[in-house]
Chains A and B, each alone.
Chain A
C-alpha cells in the first residue's frame, strides 16, 4: 500500500501538483488518469522519489518514504520496478543484459540461476529469441515489454508504469494491460499505472485517480466512472464522438 498525503510540487514557481491525497492498494492495478500535461508523470516520479517534493508525505506501508536518507531509500527501491514512458532500456546492453542488470546488482545468484530468471521474465512478456538484440533493434512495443521484464526481474513489491501502452496498436496495448493486471494479482504487488487510454481504464480500473491541471478531481473505480457528476471527468471519458453518442442513448 502506498499513501500520498497533501502533496505539493512546483517547478520554478509554477505549481504542477496541488494538494494531492490518495491511497493506492496492494494487489490492485491503481490507475492515474488525466489529460496530457496534467501532471501524471510528475506525480509518479514524486512517489518514487525521482523528484523532490515541496510539501506533503509519501508513505510506503508504514514508512515515511520522502524523509528517508539515501541508504534507507535504497532498501525500498530494491523492491520497486518501474516502466518509464520512453522504456529507458540501457542502450549499450543487450535485451538479456538489460533484464539481468538488476539481478547482477542485487542478488548473489549464480550465472545459470540468473539466466533462468531472465528467460522466465522474457517469456512472461512474450519476448522470444531476442536475447542478443540491442534495444535499438527492437520495435517500440517490444522495448516496452522488455522494460516490463526488467522491472519485474527482482519480483518487486511495487510496480510503476508510465503509459505502458501509449503509441501501441490496440491488440498489443490490450496484451500489455492484461499482463500488468495478471502480474499484479499473481504477486499481489502494489501497481500504479499512468494512462490516458480509456480502454485500459475500462479493463483494469480497480482504483482510479483522475487529475486535471495538477488537482485531484475524482477518485473511484471503473463501475463508477461512467456515472460521475464531475464535469471535467465526463469531458475526459466521453471525449470521442462514439462515446458521446452512446452516452446520449442512455
Chain B
C-alpha cells in the first residue's frame, strides 16, 4: 500500500536533492583543497597533504554533517510545510475519516525514502567533493595530479566511511521525524504552517549538531 508513496517520496525528497548536494560539495571540496594548498606552503609539509585533507574533511564532516544541515533546510522545511498544509486544510482529517492511519501513511514513506536515499547523497557528496578539490588544486593550486591522488589514497581508513554513513542515517531519521512532527501537529492557518517549517529546520539542525558530537565521541574515541 505504501509502495507507490515511497517511490514518489524517493523522487521528491531524494533525487531532487542530488543537484544541490553535488554543487555545494564540488565547491566545498575545491575550497578546502585550496585552503590547504595556501596554508601549507612550508616545504616541510608534504604535497600530498592536500589530497588527504580534502578527503578526510569531506568524509568526516562535510558530506555527512554539513550536508545534513543543508538537507534539513531543504527537505525538512518541505516535509513540515507539506504535512502542515494537509493538516490545516483538513486533508489529514479526511484521511482519518476514511479509516486511514494518517500518521503512518504520511510519515512512513518519507522516512523510508530519506533513510534509504541519504547515504547515496553522502557518497555522491564525498566523490564530487574530492573531485572538486582535485580540479581546484591542480588547475589553480600548482599541485601535480599524482601528488593529489597519492594523498587521497594515503592512510585511508575505511571505518571513516562507516562512521560517515552511520551519521547520515541518524541525521536522515532526525530530519524526517522532527519535521513531520512539526507539520503534523500544526493548528491554525498558513501562518502557523510557516512557523512550523521554520521550527522544523531549527530543531533538526540543533539535534544534528548535538548528535554529531555524541556519535563522534562514541565511534571515534
> Does B1 sit within 8 A of A, measured CB to CB?
yes
The 6 A-B pairs of least Cβ separation, nearest first, read A77-B99, A88-B90, A74-B99, A88-B94, A84-B90, A82-B97
Report Cα–Cα, A84/B97, bound state, in Å: 10
Shortest CB-to-CB span from B47 to chain A, Å, is: 53
> Does A242 sit within 8 A of B, measured CB to CB?
no
Report Cα–Cα, A228/B93, bound state, in Å: 36
Kindly report which residue of chain A lies nearest to residue B98, judged by CB atoms.
A102
Which residues of the partner chain A approach B93 to less than 8 Å between Cβ atoms?
45, 50, 82, 84, 88
A-B contact pairs, 20 of them (CB 8 A): A50-B96, A73-B99, A74-B99, A77-B96, A78-B98, A80-B97, A82-B93, A82-B97, A84-B90, A84-B93, A84-B94, A85-B90, A88-B91, A88-B93, A88-B94, A89-B91, A91-B85, A91-B89, A105-B100, A106-B98
Which residues of the partner chain A approach B85 to less than 8 Å between Cβ atoms?
91
> Does A86 sit within 8 A of B, measured CB to CB?
yes
> Does A48 sit within 8 A of B, measured CB to CB?
yes
Residues 39-70 of A, flagged 1 when their CB comes within 8 A of B and 0 if not, give 00000010010100000000000000000001
- CB of B97 within 8 A of CB of A50, answer yes
- CB of A78 within 8 A of CB of B91, answer no
Residues 95-134 of A, flagged 1 when their CB comes within 8 A of B and 0 if not, give 0000001100110000000000000000000000000000
Which residues of the partner chain B approach A106 to less than 8 Å between Cβ atoms?
98-99
Residues 48-62 of B, flagged 1 when their CB comes within 8 A of A and 0 if not, give 000000000000000
> Does A218 sit within 8 A of B, measured CB to CB?
no
Interface residues on A, range: 20 to 34
> Does A90 sit within 8 A of B, measured CB to CB?
yes
Which residues of the partner chain B approach A81 to less than 8 Å between Cβ atoms?
97
Which residues of the partner chain B approach A82 to less than 8 Å between Cβ atoms?
93-94, 97
Which residues of the partner chain A approach B99 to less than 8 Å between Cβ atoms?
73-75, 77-78, 105-106
Which residues of the partner chain A approach B91 to less than 8 Å between Cβ atoms?
88-91
Shortest CB-to-CB span from A34 to chain B, Å, is: 20
B-side interface residues toward A, CB under 8 Å?
1, 85-86, 89-91, 93-94, 96-101
Kindly report which residue of chain B lies nearest to residue A81, judged by CB atoms.
B97
Kindly report which residue of chain B lies nearest to residue A78, judged by CB atoms.
B99
Report Cα–Cα, A76/B145, bound state, in Å: 70
Report Cα–Cα, A203/B93, bound state, in Å: 29
- CB of B89 within 8 A of CB of A86, answer yes
- CB of B94 within 8 A of CB of A77, answer no
Shortest CB-to-CB span from A11 to chain B, Å, is: 11
- CB of B90 within 8 A of CB of A86, answer yes
Report Cα–Cα, A106/B1, bound state, in Å: 10
Which residues of the partner chain A approach B89 to less than 8 Å between Cβ atoms?
86, 88, 91
Report Cα–Cα, A74/B94, bound state, in Å: 13
A residues 5-21 touching B (CB-CB < 8 Å):
none
Which residues of the partner chain A approach B98 to less than 8 Å between Cβ atoms?
77-78, 80, 101-102, 105-106
Which residues of the partner chain B approach A73 to less than 8 Å between Cβ atoms?
99
Report Cα–Cα, A102/B91, bound state, in Å: 13
Report Cα–Cα, A78/B96, bound state, in Å: 10
Shortest CB-to-CB span from B13 to chain A, Å, is: 13
- CB of B97 within 8 A of CB of A77, answer yes
Which residues of the partner chain A approach B101 to less than 8 Å between Cβ atoms?
70
Which of A48, A73, A82 is packed against the most chain B CB atoms within 10 Å? A82
Shortest CB-to-CB span from B178 to chain A, Å, is: 22
Which residues of the partner chain B approach A89 to less than 8 Å between Cβ atoms?
91
Kindly report which residue of chain B lies nearest to residue A85, judged by CB atoms.
B90
Report Cα–Cα, A78/B1, bound state, in Å: 17
Which residues of the partner chain A approach B1 to less than 8 Å between Cβ atoms?
105
A residues 113-157 touching B (CB-CB < 8 Å):
none
Which residues of the partner chain A approach B86 to less than 8 Å between Cβ atoms?
90
Shortest CB-to-CB span from B205 to chain A, Å, is: 27
Report Cα–Cα, A86/B101, bound state, in Å: 21
Which residues of the partner chain B approach A101 to less than 8 Å between Cβ atoms?
98
Shortest CB-to-CB span from A86 to chain B, Å, is: 6
Report Cα–Cα, A80/B1, bound state, in Å: 21
Report Cα–Cα, A81/B96, bound state, in Å: 11
Report Cα–Cα, A97/B114, bound state, in Å: 25
Report Cα–Cα, A106/B97, bound state, in Å: 13
Which residues of the partner chain B approach A85 to less than 8 Å between Cβ atoms?
90
Report Cα–Cα, A78/B97, bound state, in Å: 8
Which residues of the partner chain B approach A105 to less than 8 Å between Cβ atoms?
1, 98-100
